[in-house]
Amino acid sequence: MLPLLLSVSCWPQDSASNIAEQTSPLPAQRIDPQLAESQALFEKGKVSDAEHSVRQYLGQHPRSADAHYLLGLILFKQVKPKDSLAEYTEGAKYRDPSAYDLEIVALNYVLLADYAHADEWLAKSLTLQPKNWEGWYYLGRTKYNENHFDEAVHAFQECLKLSPENVKAEDNLGLSYAGLGQIDDAMAAYKQAIAWQAQLLIKNPGPYLDLGTLLVEQNRDAEAISYLVHAAEIAPQDSKVRQVLGKAYEHQNQLAKAQAELEQAVALTPDDAALHFVLGKLYRKQGMIEKAKAEFDRSEALRGTRALPDTVR
């Protein structure tokens, strides 16, 4: 039987909705024709209709493992991890889960920020299907979030063997090397990820941001700026890109540019207390005392909100 967990969070680099959206489609399988209609609705993106249909089916066939697993997948796509896990737990009473089922179970635990259980179920999934590059990618992300950087490196390397020139995997390999303090290896991985997408019309901003961030941390701000500007061109609505670019400009004493970037970052994530504080410090540095006070006050107010118990909010 599959265990349940109760805490809720999201995965760095991958929002909850992105994790749910970017998983592989449901593998082809032979199922009851009536249940197949529910699956067809799901595959057409009619998720609510699919849920209603499969629940009707379960009303008549409560011991159907296929139906419970399908409902679990539907609930996962709706970012309802606890409800999804309950269905996988029920389905496991009647049939052992497949490698795909175990991957979705693991990703539910990712959504719950329980990386230990995510690690466990991804490992079991990969035992059944060791050539699943996506499973290795998610295992790498899980290991990274557990601060098991050496194991993350291994997982991303396995992913890259199965999915060559995978930009996200190479970028995350760089993050894992950085976690180990292997700065040269990290930079090489980021640059490789950038090179692999040089000719692509749609680029992933991650390698540019991560390389730029690492360069800023190494006090190589002039080098960092070109990568961060490129990241901002790719993802103009990414608050993190704006924040790091603002930091690099500030280090270069280009305060007007730093201000513009940090103001955009705050506009994009207005409830980030730390970001308001950083902008306030930059205003104060430029003698903009009233603006600085407003940002400090806003930061303090947001931190006060964050300090309230969940039951009070």
Sorted by where each begins, the domain ranges of the chain are 7-26+33-112
Q: Is residue 110 a contact partner of residue 118, using CB atoms and an 8 Å limit? A: yes
- 14 forms beta bridges with 11
Check pLDDT > 80 for residue 18. no
pLDDT, mean of residues 119-126: 98
User: Is pLDDT at 226 greater than 80 in this prediction?
Assistant: yes
CATH number assigned to the domain covering 7-26+33-112: 1.25.40.10
Mean pLDDT of the chain: 91
| Nearest in space to 216 (alpha carbons), one of 175, 252, 258 | 252
Over 90: is that where the pLDDT of 9 sits? no
Query: Would you say residue 34 has pLDDT above 90?
Result: no
Mean pLDDT of 195-218: 97
Lowest mean pLDDT among 14-23, 109-118, 268-277: 14-23
Beta-strand (E) ranges in 88-176?
none
Write down the pLDDT at residue 228. Answer: 98
Distance CA 293, CA 271 (A): 17
Residue type, 247: K
Mean pLDDT to the nearest integer, 218-223: 97
| 130-135 long-range contacts, CB within 8 A, separation 24+ | 131/162, 132/99, 132/103, 132/162, 133/158, 133/159, 133/162, 133/163, 133/166, 133/169, 134/23, 134/24, 134/103, 134/159, 134/163, 135/99, 135/103
**Residues 207-212, mean pLDDT to the nearest whole number:** 98
For residue 250, pLDDT over 80 is answered with yes
